[in-house]
Amino acid sequence: MLTGKSLNSPNGKTIYRPVSYRRGTMQGVTELPAPETKAAVVEEMFDRLAPRYERMNHLLTLGMDNRWRRTALDLARVAAGDRVLDLACGTGDFARLAASRGAAATGLDFSAQMVAEARARDSGAYVRGDALALPFADGYFDAIVSGFAVRNFTGLEAVFGECARVLKPGGRLAILEIDTPRSLPLRLGHSLYFARLMPVIGGLMSGDRDAYRYLSRSGAYLPDASGFARLFHGAGFDNVWRRPLMGGAIQVLVGQRR
């Protein structure tokens, strides 16, 4: 077993928390994958989950996940006529919600099966691609949204840099992700559900316990609030701010391209 190291910002606050992981694939492994295998593990896992991923998200969040996506679209000021990228689109929930506002939405995902599922659900534009090398021209999009995906990326600096590259000056980036509540009672309840109940419920209902063990632990990959701010600013975003939802269990991080 290997143990990741903390990465600290200049003010001494922890940006990346230590992560324990094993080498190898996700199948039969209950801890987080090593950095050199993470991309392959995540791709294979989401290919497996694709046929039931959207339904499982709605069930495990009691249908609130699309409410949170609408909030993120509001904060990104997505409007009719905007070109919007749904980054790591999964089965296309964000893209469909953006299109319902009259935006021209494009979904991109690393998983071929996720892209196939998205295309089966609507006639939108969905492409397979890598967040580290987005297949779009500079300054093409007005807004980028991404839901519960940052913890699955490798090389966050490069990903945010690519987001800045394909956004127009003044374009908006909105990241919807999990977080940990600050209140002790809420934090305890969150820990009970997210770390213990969700892997069991998700595993039983999906038939893939390993995947939901990973998903419950993958928050360890996330920067803290100051770390996210550093990444946004370093990639070329200003007006960076954060909106907590659900008592701090969910967060939306927003920035504007310089």
Res 3: pLDDT: 29
For 121, phi then psi, to 5°, come to -90, -30
CB 108 within 8 A of CB 85: yes
What is the three-state SS of the chain?
A: CEECCCEECCCCCEEECCCEEECCCCCCCCCEECHHHHHHHHHHHHHHHHHHHHHHHHHHCCCCHHHHHHHHHHHCCCCCCCEEEEECCCCCHHHHHHHCCCCEEEEEECCHHHHHHHHHHCCCEEEECECCECCCCCCCEEEEEEECCHHHCCCHHHHHHHHHHHEEEEEEEEEEEECCCCCHHHHHHHHHHHHHHHHHHHHHHHCCHHHHHHHHHHHHHCECHHHHHHHHHHHCEEEEEEEEEHHHCEEEEEEEEC
Res 195: pLDDT: 87
- The sign of the dihedral angle between the CA atoms of 58, 43, 194, 205 is positive
Res 29: pLDDT: 38
Report how far apart, in Å, the C-alpha atoms of 13 and of each of 69, 124, 149, 235 are. Answer: 29, 42, 23, 20
Residues of the chain with pLDDT under 70: 1-30
Res 15: pLDDT: 31
Res 35: pLDDT: 86
Please give the Cα distance from 148 to 169 (Å, whole number).
25
CATH homologous superfamily, domain 39-257:
Vaccinia Virus protein VP39 (3.40.50.150)
Res 196: pLDDT: 87
Token code pair at residue 168: 């127009």
Q: Please report, as a single letter, which amino acid is at residue 111.
A: S
182-194 pLDDT tens trace: 999 999 999 999 8
Q: How far apart are the first and last CA of the chain?
A: 42
Res 28: pLDDT: 39
CB 155 within 8 A of CB 231: no
Entry pTM: 0.86
Contacts of 97 (CB under 8 A, 6+ apart): 66, 69, 70, 73
Place of tokens 């989401």: 46
Q: Where are the domains of the chain?
A: 39-257
Contacts of 1 (CB under 8 A, 6+ apart): 20, 21, 22, 31
Res 228: pLDDT: 97
